[in-house]
Structure 1
Amino acid sequence: MEPVKGKLIALGGGDDDGLIKLIRSEICAVTSHIEVIATAASTPEESGMAYKEAFEEMGCHSVHFMHIDETNPADKPEYLQRIAKADVIFFTGGDQVRLAKFLNGTALLDSMHRRYRTDDIIIAGTSAGAAIMSDRMIYNGYGHYSLIKGEMKTTEGCSFIKNIFIDTHFAERGRFGRLAHAVAHDPAYIGIGLSEETGIIIKEGDQVEVFGPGVVTVIDGGGIKFSNIPLVADNEPIAVENLKMHLLVHGYRYCLREHLFQSLAQEVSKSVVNG
């Protein structure tokens, strides 16, 4: 994972007023250029305009809706020009497979990737808009069936970051099993489960910090000693030894490269002492 200048902000779904306020505080200037992409939504124009109005109510003066779907291609010259000067790109919730379908392979997404690596830009999203941020995303697996081989499925995401799974509505929809299965299947990946109204800020492509009132679940497969996944047939239950889990709340972070759980208060104390 190479250090990057941009930030990823991902919310687990539910009420997203806190996310909009956080973005507003993070970007500071009311003149910042915000692009809303609502392709995942079942009614994208309605959803896009609703978020545009929500940002404007927070005092943001330059908010635009980018309509991308079957009849509106991503690589319009106008859209490429707007992404080139955006300070925030915001993805709404809905169907993450649909969202990735219309962005992957486009010059628009390539431009977003470059901006994320080299500029102080925010890539933000809620629900489906959070799930697409990594190179792989989970799109199937429900209840106890999620721990049956073949029931949990992943597909290509939008690759702002690699080797993590971001799952949303995590506690509310009982998605522990499918995230654990995904990490057990691909132990190089770290699973991050976001409860509703709770999310993460990923800084430098590495430091995962929590915001909101709930809990973020981190599942780390780096210490797995045994898994039967390669051995059993589809429709058989999986067995995994030494799958590690962490629970994070506001004030804590997880460093992806070091596989390290940290208290932000301890880091502040160290810096004061050393300073």
Structure 2
Amino acid sequence: MIPSFADGIPGALILSGPGPAAPEAFLTFTRLAKPLEGKFVAVKDKLPDLRELAEATGVWWELKEPPKGKILDALKAALARGATLGGNTAFTQVALREGLLPDANAAIRYELPEGAALAVVGREIQLLGAVPVTIRLVATKFSPEERVTLAGRKRLADLTALRRWSRQRTEPVFPPKTLATPKVPSGTLVIIGGGGMPQGLTQRFVELAGGPEKAVIAVIPISMPDPLPPKDGMAEALRRAGAKEVVELRGRTPETVDSPEALALLKRATGVWFGGGRQWRFVDAYEGTKAEKLMHEVLKRGGVIGGSSAGASIQGEYMARGNPLGPEEIIAPGYERGLGFLPGMAIDQHFTQRNRFKDMELLIKTYPQLLGVGIDEATALIVQGSVAEITGRTRVNFYDAGKPGPESVASGKKYDLAARKVID
């Protein structure tokens, strides 16, 4: 299981290359440290007093001598309680070497040339100034070295995605060249392309979950950012459709989703619903947990798993558009694994409405072993076994690398996912 580090670092770091710090570095530090609201410590001419560091909300280091010993321990403690730390290259090299920025100098190496600077706030890494910074992911047994360069308009990276990517690279390449046949041996998947529910599908979902007398449905709305609304719209709709019991699971970390109460619900659930938003949030919470295994058990018992938009993409073995920085790119290293209810598949949504055809072509060119699926808004795939029924407003596009173009299948038709062809 990937460790729970989704929130990044607890405070903020300003890292600088050799030479004078970039003006943007100190300005950003000042904005984050808010010296008028807390206790600001500037280390310029002599080593700081440990008592000052114990109360500091911001520390800026300019001594040529790097922090070490008890002073370094005090800086680590300050960062852990949410302080902002920054300074010259002496500070930066210690920060990278001593674990203030997790996985730095081991699996991930940050190359800051003279005049370069970075801000790391939580999980966001931002380039400061105009001097490019290169982030290197070291070569492993399974993967060659990779480089990410922050320059020009590309000024952001996600720390959690980099850490996930670096750890993924220590394992056999994903997705593997040979994938399982797309099939749901038992139970049903309901996969909706966002933009509203097809008519009658909420009621049908309840029926697939056992009907009014038996349907116990877990609704997972956490693909949206906090604060979540007090009442979830889909949970309310399922209650109106007659489900016996509907419970929202709002945990966002592996620890909270594996709470005794959540696991007890999933052990008796007949249905699970994933809401819309950003699918990487589901991964941060559920990947490798006991809760994830129990969701697969829901299908094995003959239950139903469904979702719309983000809740569609999370169902595939390969997860499309997982980049925490935005949904524009269909391939997102570090966030490529879905929850795998439907093996061998990559699922994209809002497909025609957001003109995502070229993106899926790129994905299938990159990973020709996948079966790609692009689902239009207010349109759904209902999968039982290897048969996918299309229902709703418009159509679904299927991408097979062995065919010259996508197969566009209208509502009312069926598609054999194993044979990769329309069922006449």
> Scaled by the length of structure 2, what TM-score is found?
0.52
Q: Is the CA contact (8 Å cut-off) linking 1:48 and 1:65 kept in structure 2?
A: no
Give per-residue Cα distances to partners, 1:148-206, cap 9 Å, x unaligned.
Answer: xxx641411111121111100001111111111111111111111111000101111x1
Within 2, Cα distance between the matches of 1:197 and 1:84? 30
- Mapping of 1:197-216 within 5 angstroms? 197-204=378-385, 206-216=386-396
Give the conservation status (yes or no) of the 8 Å contact 2:253–2:286: no
Query: What displacement does 1:79 show?
Result: 0.9
Deviations 1:189-235 (CA, angstroms, capped at 9, x unpaired): 1111111000101111x1111010211111111x2xxxxxxxxxxxx
Partner of 1:187: 368
Gap change, CA 1:157 and 1:3, over 3 Å in 2: closer
Per the TM alignment, residue 61 of structure 1 is displaced from its structure 2 partner at its CA by 2.9
Letter in 2 for 1:39: I
Taking the aligned partners of 1:140 and 1:75, their CA distance within structure 2 comes to 23
Partner of 2:286: 103
Q: Which residue of 1 aligns with 2:416?
A: 255
Q: How do 1:51-130 and structure 2 match up within 5 A?
A: 51-70=234-253, 73-116=256-299, 118-130=300-312
- Kindly indicate whether the alpha-carbon contact (under 8 Å) linking 1:35 and 1:86 is maintained by their aligned counterparts in 2: yes
- RMSD (Å), alpha carbons: 2.2
CA gap of 1:47–1:137, structure 2 versus 1, over 3 A, is farther
Q: 2:406 aligns with which of 220, 239, 245?
A: 245
Work out the CA distance in 1 between the residues paired with 2:264 and 2:257.
Answer: 12
Helix, strand or coil at the partner of 1:46: coil
Q: Secondary structure at the match of 1:181?
A: helix
Provide Cα deviations, 1:10-59, integer angstroms capped at 9, x if missing partner.
10001126332331343452131011001101246427632221111222
- In structure 1, distance between residues paired with 2:227 and 2:266: 19
1:38 and 1:47 in contact (8 A); partners too: no
Is 2:377 aligned against 1:196?
Answer: yes
Name the CA distance, whole Å, in 2 between partners of 1:40 and 1:84.
22
Name 1:165's counterpart in structure 2: 346
Query: Which fold has the larger relative contact order, with Cα–Cα distance below 8 Å and residues 6 or more apart in sequence?
Result: 1
* Conserved 8 A contact 2:188-2:383: yes
* 1:26 matches 2:208: yes
In the comparison of the two structures, how many residue pairs are matched? 234
Comparing 47-56 with 171-180, greater Cα deviation is found at 47-56
Alpha-carbon distance in 1 for matches of 2:210, 2:410: 24
Compare 122-131 and 16-25 and name the one that shifted more.
16-25
Secondary structure class of the residue paired with 1:6: strand
Q: For residue 348 of structure 2, what is the amino acid of its counterpart? A: D
Unaligned 5+ segments in structure 1 are 224-241, 264-275
Q: Partner of 2:331 in structure 1?
A: 153
Residue 271 of structure 1: aligned partner: none
User: Which AA in structure 2 matches 1:73?
Assistant: T
- Taking the aligned partners of 1:166 and 1:257, their CA distance within structure 2 comes to 15
Secondary structure of 1:135's aligned partner: strand
Distance 1:63 1:57, change over 3 A: same
Secondary structure in structure 1 of the residue aligned to 2:419: coil
User: Which of structures 1 and 2 has the bigger CA Rg?
Assistant: 2
Cα separation, 2, equivalents of 1:7 and 1:259? 19
Aligned residues of 1:88 and 1:122 also touching (Cα < 8 A): yes
Larger fraction in helix: 1
Residues 156/3 of structure 1: CA separation in 2 closer, same or farther (3 Å cut): closer
Unaligned ranges ≥5, structure 2: 1-180
Q: Cα deviations across residues 38-92 of structure 1 (Å, max 9, x unaligned)?
A: 1101246427632221111222231111111149611011111111111110000
Measure, in 2, the Cα distance between the counterparts of 1:140 and 1:50: 24
